[in-house]
Amino acid sequence: MMHCPYCKSPAHAKSSRYMSEQVKERYHQCTNLDCSCAFKTSESITKVITAPPLPETCQAPPPTPPQRQPHTLGRYGSAFRH
């Protein structure tokens, strides 16, 4: 919310339009009925604090499952068989 440059009362934004991808022009009107000042402001991006993570374009191949070792225990029957 902006304040009126004359009476310092709150001013409501009435409309806005983009001047470029990073600059917006906004029109305000003072809420003080005795003042009723109308003015415009310019809003711009001055610095990006945190950027979103970059998308992964090349995904790593899925890990290969471990090779199964051949079973030798119990191959010819149970070791506890009598």
Residue extents of the structural domains in the chain? 2-44
- 26 with 39: CB under 8 angstroms? no
- 37 with 6: CB under 8 angstroms? yes
pLDDT computed for residue 1 by the predictor: 84
pLDDT computed for residue 73 by the predictor: 61
Give tens-digit pLDDT for 25-78: 999 999 999 999 999 999 999 999 999 988 876 666 777 777 776 666 665 666
For residue 30, the tally of other CB atoms under 10 A from its CB is 22
CA proximity to 8, closest of 44, 40, 37: 37
Given a cut of 90, whether residue 79 has pLDDT beyond it is no
Work out the average pLDDT over 7-23. 95
Q: Is the pTM of this model over 0.75?
A: no
Distance between first and last Cα of the chain: 90
**Residue 80 and residue 20: Cα distance in Å, rounded?**
82
pLDDT computed for residue 65 by the predictor: 75
